[in-house]
Amino acid sequence: MASGELTSVRSPRVKAARRLAKRAFRRRERRFLAEGPQAVREALEAPGRLAELFTTAEAESRHGDLVRAAERAGVPVLRVSGEVMAELAQTVTPQGLLAVCQFVDVPLEDALEPAPTLVTVLAHVRDPGNAGTVLRTADAAGAEAVVFTDASVDPYNGKCVRASAGSLFHLPVVVGPRFGDLLPALRDRGLTVLAADGAGKRTLDEAIDDGLLARPTAWVFGNEAWGLPEEILDSVDDVVRVPIYGRAESLNLATAAAVCLYASSRAQRAG
Amino acid sequence: MASGELTSVRSPRVKAARRLAKRAFRRRERRFLAEGPQAVREALEAPGRLAELFTTAEAESRHGDLVRAAERAGVPVLRVSGEVMAELAQTVTPQGLLAVCQFVDVPLEDALEPAPTLVTVLAHVRDPGNAGTVLRTADAAGAEAVVFTDASVDPYNGKCVRASAGSLFHLPVVVGPRFGDLLPALRDRGLTVLAADGAGKRTLDEAIDDGLLARPTAWVFGNEAWGLPEEILDSVDDVVRVPIYGRAESLNLATAAAVCLYASSRAQRAG
């Protein structure tokens, strides 16, 4: 046992971190958990975000650079036993590094300033893995902001944080607006608001060919199982569907979002 | 308890089905498990594929049409208790219907006949959820065949079957060829073989603009973590990368595949 290593899951610091697996505690503390060396690296690069770092001796020997960088940045580093890490981590095979981070979300008005050309909205997305994958894809496709509406999953959910593969720290994320409040704000910034939904009359290819995708765009993605509610479909500027050429009934939400976002990236850069 | 309902997990039929959770038994029996009403519906539409149907009384009352259709098709229907279904099912919240299906894969030469225009190859893909999502996306994008090389996950893995959302039954699937044997067969059928990899010198947009994607194409997708091995990258006709415009290090495998496959669909239909 390394000196100063915490070996009890009943240690107050460990208990405080463990509670962050629950949304109610995350909201109260405005802190969340991010596991693994990649997440720790990203959190370190986002000034003031890394609040506390838990590490096992084994992880410290593998990722000494990260642990030292955290210490240099004045971040409290807590050495814990493998058993304590297993209790803290939300993965089956914990990587031995766990960051307690400050919330990263920003107010809507900040995320839309200066006027963006590509925004991603998650409305009614409930699966945290899907939400994190869309966040990662939006980052890759060059989106300037990602908005989680009040009807979507919590972006600080552990599965969402993992699936985002660091992108949660990369671009402005907005949490919690109602769609009815969001829509006029997006339009005020000159964004055409497009919903991606299998019910769309216009295909993505038609939207590209018509020049629609070359405009500054906010894409709205809906629920994995049932898409978007009528009131959203009726209120946006257009509803676009990714064409299905084979016998699949639909696309997975995150793959449909990838096809839409990259179509916008290409159209905006070509235009 | 419904009459004739199996309530023991030690019943020989239940034990035989349970064993199919393991790859070795699947290969020996050439059978696999597919859960839920959608999978049962798809299996029923693929003649001779549905070998046995397990149902709970509750699922039968909700999906009586499917159970009756199976019985009309001469498929043995086994009524089981909720406890037995929970043992058989590989999901946390079983849907009460579980199909034992015959393997659906076909020989490579059959899958490539007549000469296809879009083929998907999974080489070194290890995560069954990713593999199933790529299969579903390939189906949606109009691919005519999907090949799982010997270094990839088993397409009959329960997670892969679920993620494919029925697409395993929709288009020819080939299992197990070595990449070295596959490559000349793809070229013989006039396919340009493109690897999707972050190491590619050519971006997807360049490949579209150069007319490369309008050709009959086999896309090769690699491992989630490390991509494709040198010998594959060196042997294909070109290595193409999906451009990263933001700060993400990479795309999730299934989302990258979606962007590539839909780019081919569009280019081939426009060309």
Is B3 within a domain? no
Is A209 within a domain? yes
Same domain, A160 and A219: yes
Q: Which of A140, A143, A171 sits opposite B251 (nearest CB)?
A: A140
pLDDT value at position B103? 97
pLDDT value at position B3? 54
* Contact with chain B for residue A225, Cβ under 8 A: no
Contact B140 A250 (CB under 8 A): yes
Looking at CA atoms only, how far is residue B241 from chain A in angstroms?
12
Same domain, B174 and B262: yes
Same domain, A93 and A137: no
Q: Assign 3-class secondary structure to B44-77.
A: HHCCCCEEEEEECHHHHHHCHHHHHHHHHCCCCE
Residue the block writes with tokens 């490579």: B108
Alpha-carbon gap, residue A58 to B260, rounded angstroms: 39
Q: Does the pLDDT at position A20 exceed 70?
A: yes
Best of B130, B136, B224, B245 to substitute, by most chain A Cβ atoms within 10 angstroms, is: B245
Contact B140 A166 (CB under 8 A): no
Same domain, A75 and A185: no
Tell me if A158 sits within 8 A of A35, measured CB to CB. Answer: yes
Q: Assign 3-class secondary structure to B102-152.
A: ECCCCCHHHHCCCCCCEEEEECCCCCHHHHHHHHHHHHHCCCCEEEECCCC
* Contact with chain B for residue A254, Cβ under 8 A: yes
Same domain, A94 and A113: no
Task: Give A3's pLDDT tier (boundaries 50, 70, 90).
Answer: low
pLDDT value at position B170? 95
Q: Which of B142, B263, B269 sits opposite A246 (nearest CB)?
A: B142
Is B1 within a domain? no
pLDDT value at position A117? 98
DSSP A167: G
Same domain, B59 and B160: no
Omega before A114 cis (within 30°)? Answer: yes
* Contact with chain A for residue B247, Cβ under 8 A: yes
Alpha-carbon gap, residue A82 to B168, rounded angstroms: 41
Last residue of a domain, one of B102, B137, B162: B102
Q: Does the pLDDT at position A2 exceed 70?
A: no
Q: Tokens for B165?
A: 């959302």
- pLDDT, one tens digit per residue, over A243-270 is 999 999 999 999 999 999 999 999 999 8
Using alpha carbons, select from B34, B243, B253, B22 the residue that is nearest to residue B123. B253
Contact A246 B138 (CB under 8 A): yes
Contact B251 A137 (CB under 8 A): yes
Looking at CA atoms only, how far is residue A139 from chain B in angstroms?
5
Is B5 within a domain? no
Contact A269 B136 (CB under 8 A): no
| Mean pLDDT of successive 10-residue stretches along chain B, which has 271 residues | 73 93 96 94 92 96 96 95 91 88 97 96 96 98 97 96 95 97 98 96 96 97 94 97 96 96 95 59
Last residue of a domain, one of B81, B102, B123: B102
Distances from the Cα of A171 to the Cα of A46, A115, A256, angstroms: 11, 14, 21
User: Which DSSP string do the residues of B222-243 spell out, in sequence order?
Assistant: -BTTTB--HHHHHHSSEEEE--
Q: Which of A163, A170, A259 sits opposite B246 (nearest CB)?
A: A170
Tell me if A37 sits within 8 A of A98, measured CB to CB. Answer: no
Cβ-Cβ pairs closer than 8 A, A with B, add up to 116
Looking at CA atoms only, how far is residue A20 from chain B in angstroms?
24
Chain B residues inside the 8 Å CB shell of A244:
140
ipTM of the complex: 0.94
Mean pLDDT over A169-182 rounds to 97
Burial bucket for residue A37 (CB in 10 Å: 0-12, 13-18, 19+): middle
Contact A136 B251 (CB under 8 A): yes
State which residues form the domain around B49.
Answer: 12-102
Q: What is the CATH number of the domain that holds A199?
A: 3.40.1280.10
Q: Rounded to 5 degrees, what are φ and ψ at A45?
A: -80, -15
Q: Rg of the Cα trace of chain A?
A: 20
Is A5 within a domain? no
Last residue of a domain, one of B102, B120, B137: B102
Residue B267: count other Cβ atoms within 10 Å of its Cβ.
18
> Dihedral, CA atoms, B212, B257, A163, B205, nearest 10 degrees?
20
Q: What is the CATH number of the domain that holds B21?
A: 3.30.1330.30
Omega before B94 cis (within 30°)? Answer: no
Distances from the Cα of B204 to the Cα of A180, A207, B106, B239, angstroms: 37, 20, 31, 9
Same domain, A150 and A253: yes
Best of B117, B252, B268 to substitute, by most chain A Cβ atoms within 10 angstroms, is: B252
Residue the block writes with tokens 């019910």: A199
Same domain, B130 and B210: yes
pLDDT value at position A1? 42
Same domain, A64 and A129: no
Is A3 within a domain? no
Chain A residues inside the 8 Å CB shell of B170:
246-248
Is B6 within a domain? no
Q: Does the pLDDT at position A102 exceed 60?
A: yes
Looking at the DSSP assignment, which residues form a beta bridge with residue B6?
B80
Residue the block writes with tokens 């955290």: A70
Mean pLDDT over A213-223 rounds to 97
Contact B259 A256 (CB under 8 A): no
> In total, how many domains does chain B have?
2
Same domain, A115 and A245: yes
Q: Does the pLDDT at position A101 exceed 50?
A: yes
* Contact with chain B for residue A266, Cβ under 8 A: yes
pLDDT value at position A68? 97
Is A52 within a domain? yes
Q: Which of B243, B258, B269 sits opposite A255 (nearest CB)?
A: B258
Same domain, A173 and A251: yes
Residues 162-201 of B with CB under 8 A from A: 163, 165-167, 170-171
Chain A residues inside the 8 Å CB shell of B171:
246-247
Give the chain B residue whose CA is nearest to the CA of A258. B255
**Percent of chain A surpassing pLDDT 90:** 90
DSSP B154: P
Distances from the Cα of A157 to the Cα of A33, A53, A100, A163, B237, angstroms: 8, 18, 13, 10, 42
Same domain, A233 and A184: yes
Contact B141 A247 (CB under 8 A): no
Residue type, A216: P
